[in-house]
Amino acid sequence: MTHLLVLPVLIPLTAAILLLLFRFVPMARHVVIVVAAVSVFVVDLILLSTIQSEGIQTYRLGGWPAPFGIILVGDLLSGIMLVLASIISVCALFYSFGYLKEDGQRGVFHPIFFFLWSGTNGTFLTGDIFNLFVMFEIMLISIYSLLTLLGDKKQVEAGLKLISMGLLSSALFLAAVGGIYAFAGTLNMADLAVKIKPHAGHPLIAAVAMMFIGVFGLKAAMMPLHFWLPDVHSSAPTPISAMLSGILIKVGVYAIIRVFCLIFVDLQETFQVFILTLACVTMFMGAMGAVAQTDLKRLLAYSSVSQIGYILMGVGFFSVAGMGAALFYIISHGIIKAALFMAAGILKKMKGTTEMSAHGNMIKISPMYTLFFLIAVAGLGGIPPSSGFFMKFQVIKAGLDGAFYAPVAVALVVSLFTLFYLVQSWQKVCLLEQKEAPESGPSIKLLIPVGVLALLCLVLGIAADPIIQLTTAASQQLFTPELYIQAVLGAM
């Protein structure tokens, strides 16, 4: 029995506890952070390659067999999400050393950050719907404290919004889980899939599925439920903004994919129009919001809402190509958006604000910064050779293959807006003359993670083929849920 599958949850948890205990010993803390971050990254890569070569992995927590105990399941989707989470987390951690000044801030920041990482990895690995709820709570509680850590007035206000959102979604999630448990008498997702299959037409199942869309849509900032996101993502400390937009809103999408490709397989067609409509509205309204912003971080936050629409659209096609495109979109957008938020954070460090009118002339101050920013802008705008081209191309191609012409038209129009607001913000920050020059340029500590992410965006674009193969394989695996069920419950 290999313990590989539990390590992505265990290592960050160990690190968090050690960091709490060594809070007053800075040297020991640095060692723990570096060792833990590197080992989680390596373990995630090994895990992904194991899943690729040996198929779906399972791990019984506490030794209890399915469907009674909690099972950790690693399929290709989980593996991809884990690797993406670790790439962004490592960059955010590195960035946090340059971003948080005092040692006191870091002493609190890093343990909670590792709890957040552990919870995120747990969400991607768990095969139990109630455990998914628990992992969501670990994530949310960590975000509450990380968000309000610096005690800024805006952050406390955003914290209040996030907590109301979190309480609402948790209550709804719990009610949905209760409903499905009352119906099927099990919480194991694979077992649920088996038990619900013969009753797919039952109205309670449709109601529960709708509630899950509500809960996960709230987390993923799907349109009518996006109200909390712009405030939270723009006022959070920048490493956390990068985590939030890079990986944590995708957790909601991940959960939608998981329940609709496993438990509610037969309801896919029923909800298709609903999901696609919401995706289009999300895409369009998010872009409209972004165009109107003067603050770079708020603009990026609205842009995240808009981009989630694209991902949901890929999911909503419910085809192998569409799901594969959505997965590629998740990877690519995560990397690019994290880079953009970190670039915005550098501006915040230089002048204390992210208002675009306060900045300018970055091309003279720091050409490297301008270049990295431009790569990320090109990425999100969908210009080759960045990975952004392939992410948009694939979603649109999947839509045309499935003859969904209206969503594709919306996606094309919105991508024009995306390019418009991004290029405009880049031009304002980097090219326009500035009245008063800042005292110093961006610090190299902050530039390195942005550069790494920008480079990754280019690499993903130039060497897109292996990644597309991977996401397509993951999508094929998702559309044969029998594999997952068999891996968890054994031959039945």
Alpha helix positions (H), 221-366: 229-235, 238-243, 249-258, 268-291, 296-316, 320-351, 362-365
Alpha helix positions (H), 352-443: 362-365, 367-381, 387-401, 405-426
Residue with tokens 């990295």: 372
Six-digit token string for 215: 């809960």
Total residues at interface with another protein (CB under 8 A)? 15
- Report the alpha-carbon distance of residue 138 to residue 112 in Å, rounded: 10
Check binding of 151 to another protein (CB under 8 A). Answer: no
State the nearest-atom distance from the C-beta of 490 to another protein, in Å. 17
Closer residue to another protein in complex, CB, 60/359: 60
Q: Which stretch binds another protein (CB under 8 A): 8-16, 26-34, 195-203, 235-243?
A: 8-16
Q: In this structure, how many other beta carbons lie within 10 angstroms of the beta carbon of residue 104?
A: 10
Check binding of 60 to another protein (CB under 8 A). Answer: yes
Closer residue to another protein in complex, CB, 148/304: 148
Q: Which stretch binds another protein (CB under 8 A): 18-26, 144-152, 278-286, 416-424?
A: 18-26
- Return all residues near 224 (Cβ < 8 A) that are at least 6 apart: 278
Beta-bridge partners for 126 = 72
Least Cα distance to 129 among 85, 196, 176 occurs for: 176
- Phi and psi based region of residue 55 (left: phi greater than 0; alpha: psi -120 to 50; beta: remaining): left
State the nearest-atom distance from the C-beta of 142 to another protein, in Å. 14
- Report the alpha-carbon distance of residue 334 to residue 321 in Å, rounded: 20
Six-digit token string for 228: 């909390």
Q: Which stretch binds another protein (CB under 8 A): 17-25, 211-219, 267-275, 437-445?
A: 17-25
State the nearest-atom distance from the C-beta of 145 to another protein, in Å. 12
- Phi and psi based region of residue 318 (left: phi greater than 0; alpha: psi -120 to 50; beta: remaining): left
Residue type at 334 in one-letter notation: G
Closer residue to another protein in complex, CB, 108/432: 108
Closer residue to another protein in complex, CB, 17/210: 17
Closer residue to another protein in complex, CB, 14/272: 14
**Element (DSSP H or E) covering residue 58:** strand 57-60
> HSE (CB half, 13 Å, CA atoms) of 141?
11
Closer residue to another protein in complex, CB, 3/435: 3
Q: Which of 4, 17, 35, 368 binds another protein (CB under 8 A)?
A: 17
Over the Cα atoms of the chain, what is R_g? 21
Q: Which of 27, 53, 54, 62 binds another protein (CB under 8 A)?
A: 62
Closer residue to another protein in complex, CB, 6/51: 6
Q: At 295, is the secondary structure helix, strand, or coil?
A: strand
Six-digit token string for 448: 């390195």
Check binding of 163 to another protein (CB under 8 A). Answer: no
Closer residue to another protein in complex, CB, 13/242: 13
Check binding of 3 to another protein (CB under 8 A). Answer: yes
Closer residue to another protein in complex, CB, 61/383: 61
- Report the alpha-carbon distance of residue 315 to residue 474 in Å, rounded: 13
Closer residue to another protein in complex, CB, 17/160: 17
Q: Which of 4, 28, 61, 207 binds another protein (CB under 8 A)?
A: 61
Alpha helix positions (H), 129-152: 129-147
Closer residue to another protein in complex, CB, 19/290: 19
Least Cα distance to 90 among 247, 291, 231 occurs for: 247
Q: Which of 8, 12, 15, 21 binds another protein (CB under 8 A)?
A: 21
State the nearest-atom distance from the C-beta of 263 to another protein, in Å. 25
Closer residue to another protein in complex, CB, 20/206: 20
Local structure of residue 126 (DSSP, 8 states)? B
Check binding of 14 to another protein (CB under 8 A). Answer: yes
State the nearest-atom distance from the C-beta of 102 to another protein, in Å. 18
CB 121 within 8 A of CB 276: no
Residue 292 CA to its chain's centroid (Å): 24
Check binding of 375 to another protein (CB under 8 A). Answer: no
Q: Which stretch binds another protein (CB under 8 A): 54-62, 229-237, 249-257, 484-492?
A: 54-62
Check binding of 87 to another protein (CB under 8 A). Answer: no
Q: Which stretch binds another protein (CB under 8 A): 15-23, 250-258, 353-361, 450-458?
A: 15-23
Considering only residues 186 through 225, tell me which ones interact with another protein, judged by CB under 8 A: none
Local structure of residue 225 (DSSP, 8 states)? G
CB 150 within 8 A of CB 105: yes
Q: Which of 4, 20, 168, 459 binds another protein (CB under 8 A)?
A: 20
Residues near another protein (CB under 8 A): 1, 3, 6, 10, 13-14, 17, 20-21, 23, 59-63
